[in-house]
Amino acid sequence: MPFPILILYSFSVLGSGIGFVSQSLIAGFWVTTYSNDVFYFSLSTAFYFLSLGVGSLLSNRWKKPTPSLLLWLTITLSLLAGYSIPVLKLCIQRLGNVFPLALFWVCLMGIVAGQLIPLTLRVGRNYPTLSLSKLFFCDYLAAIGFTLSFTLLLLIPNGYGLTSFYLGTFGVFACVVLAARGRLVSVHLLGVIAASYVLYLQIPKATLPLEGNAKILHEEQSHYQKIVLTEEAEGNYFFPGIRKHTLYLDGFVQFSSISEQNYHACLVNVPLAAAEFGGHPVRTVLILGGGDGLAARNLLAVPKIKRIVQVEIDPAMIRLAQGEAKVRMYNLDSLRSPKVEIKIEDAFTWVRTAKEKFDLLVVDFPAPKNLTLSRLFTAEFYSQLTRLVNPEGMISIQAGPSFSTEDSTLDTLSKVTTCIKRTLVSIGKAAEVYVNSRDNEAFVLVPMSAGFNSSAFFKKAGMYGGQKEVAHLCVHSPDWKEPSVRVNTLNTLTLSTYMLSWFQTVGGEFFKYRDGHAIFLPN
């Protein structure tokens, strides 16, 4: 009895769709974890297509292919898809950023998927209606269908882990249905599937716990980032015995309760003082980012400020800042104040259509560790920002790690900070770097008035002279050296390269993925 030709098509179509989507899933997971978008995606795609070719060549080793072989190859591919993210998470915990492991998994899937089309043609050579052109068309159509379903229905609401599980489960279920229709179901098939899912459920048990006495207070995977709030019994020498709370976004420290007041004093209070020094006290403020509400807290402490507009892309951050008791303890319920107007928008697009002008603009974005975040530090974006500031107003920008890791004397600014400063200078704006002396975080002050005397302000504020001369909270030195960097534009986006290079050199608490904690990995 002839084997149903529709089932032959189905195995190939199912395998092609699952294989193509899975390599995107793996690349996306690695990009979310370690950034460097173009590198990971391009290598993953290139190796996947190479392995498809290798799989096509290896298909010649099967002398007498059968429908059962197609079934087992498709089930293997489905199980590889289902296991992909859990296994890679486990590898990251044990070994760190070893991208060849991800490439190995992509290649494994490509080799399996690459065998399906040639084997389908050989199994169905006795069917006149089976043709290579129709098979390719169906496979490409499946790739589009799977990709749309993957993006719109699976990844966005479910994250990487559940998406891989659902993708693998769907593939296995479809194979069982096809096998039943073609009378290929066997006890061996059902046994392998059952054993696979038992093993799948054991993988999470192999995760590493947090070190020390850290306790997870909040864990959430939003559409934009992995949000984790921790509590530790130990503080540091500044605050002995005080519990430490740390907020991580995608594994990077967003704020630490030990040092956040220093950080926000530099980010917010320094430009407020500069505006007072220039004779134009701040009345209205625009905050871009700062979803934790800590920048707004410092601003609300100034009675003269009448209105604050906060633009934050992630509603999960606003919910955390308004609802989590420990965060509210630090932000003093700032985001519930009637003076604060919250806009859930992408700042990159919002600033292009905004019309209102403000006395102060505070830019408090996460570290520009990928191309998407790097857009928010470009010359084009900064040009849009300057439209929203009054002629005598100020812009304050969080500018990343201050000093170069290659200069132990702390005389040379990092490439990250220098790039941000040079980008502002490239659009014709005066930009002065100052540093939080406690944690060496850099900031850039941008006065809109060409007549503003930055040096006089820094001297008046007791910030002049740099790290070595004064013991002030925020310091500035005209003698800091600047390394050679390229301006960050939408065409170059060089800043993410400088940021990733710094993280790779320093590591430590700035990049928790290196510590092998699954809690910080994207869901």
**Confidence tier at 514 by pLDDT (50, 70, 90):** very low
Rounded percentage of the chain residues whose pLDDT exceeds 90: 39
Mind listing the domains of the chain with CATH numbers? 5-206 (1.20.1250.20), 259-514 (3.40.50.150)
Across the range 315-323, mean pLDDT stands at 95
Across the range 185-208, mean pLDDT stands at 58
Average pLDDT, rounded, for the chain? 83
pLDDT at 196: 66
pLDDT at 101: 87
Q: How far is CA 240 from CA 4, 326, 502, 509, 510, in A?
A: 74, 19, 30, 19, 21
Q: Which of 45-49, 158-162, 228-232, 282-286 has the highest mean pLDDT?
A: 282-286
Distance between CA atoms of residues 236 and 513, nearest Å: 22
Is residue 234 a contact partner of residue 213, using CB atoms and an 8 Å limit? yes
- With 0-12 CB in 10 A as exposed, 13-18 as middle and 19+ as buried, what is 74? buried
Across the range 293-312, mean pLDDT stands at 96
pLDDT at 429: 94
Across the range 215-226, mean pLDDT stands at 85
pLDDT at 235: 57
**Confidence tier at 469 by pLDDT (50, 70, 90):** very low
Report the range of poorest mean pLDDT among 40-54, 124-138, 242-256. 124-138
pLDDT at 425: 96
Strands 358-364 and 284-289: parallel
Residue 323 in this model has a pLDDT that exceeds 80: yes
Q: How many residues does the chain have?
A: 523
Across the range 129-137, mean pLDDT stands at 72
pLDDT at 214: 72
Q: What is the pLDDT of residues 12-65, one digit of tens each?
A: 888 888 888 888 888 888 877 776 667 788 888 899 999 999 999 998 998 888
pLDDT at 258: 84
Strands 358-364 and 389-401: parallel
364 is catalytic: yes
- With 0-12 CB in 10 A as exposed, 13-18 as middle and 19+ as buried, what is 283? middle
Which ranges of 35-66 would DSSP assign to H, the alpha helix?
37-58
In sequence order, which residues have a C-beta less than 8 Å from that of residue 303 and are 6 or more positions away? none
pLDDT at 201: 58
Which residue would you say has higher pLDDT here, 232 or 341? 341
Whether this prediction's pTM lies above 0.85 is answered by no
**Confidence tier at 309 by pLDDT (50, 70, 90):** very high
In sequence order, which residues have a C-beta less than 8 Å from that of residue 104 and are 6 or more positions away? none
Q: How far is CA 254 from CA 200, 230, 259, in A?
A: 33, 12, 11
- With 0-12 CB in 10 A as exposed, 13-18 as middle and 19+ as buried, what is 411? middle
If we measure between CA atoms, which residue out of 479, 515, 286, 491 comes closest to residue 389?
Answer: 286
Q: What is the DSSP string of 157-210?
A: HHHHHHHHHHHHHHHHHHHHHHHHHTT---HHHHHHHHHHHHHHHHGGGGPPPP
Across the range 111-124, mean pLDDT stands at 86
Residue 472 in this model has a pLDDT that exceeds 80: no
pLDDT at 507: 58
From 250, 333, 364, 515, the catalytic residue? 364
pLDDT at 344: 96
Element (H, E) at 148: helix 132-148
Report the range of poorest mean pLDDT among 102-106, 250-254, 502-506. 502-506
Q: Which of 144-148, 172-176, 250-254, 325-329 has the highest mean pLDDT?
A: 325-329
Across the range 429-450, mean pLDDT stands at 90
Q: What is the pLDDT of residues 358-415, one digit of tens each?
A: 999 999 998 888 888 899 999 999 999 999 999 999 999 999 888 887 777 778 899 9
Distance of CA 141 to the CA centre of its chain: 30
Structure tokens at 432: 């002065």
- With 0-12 CB in 10 A as exposed, 13-18 as middle and 19+ as buried, what is 323? exposed
pLDDT at 9: 76
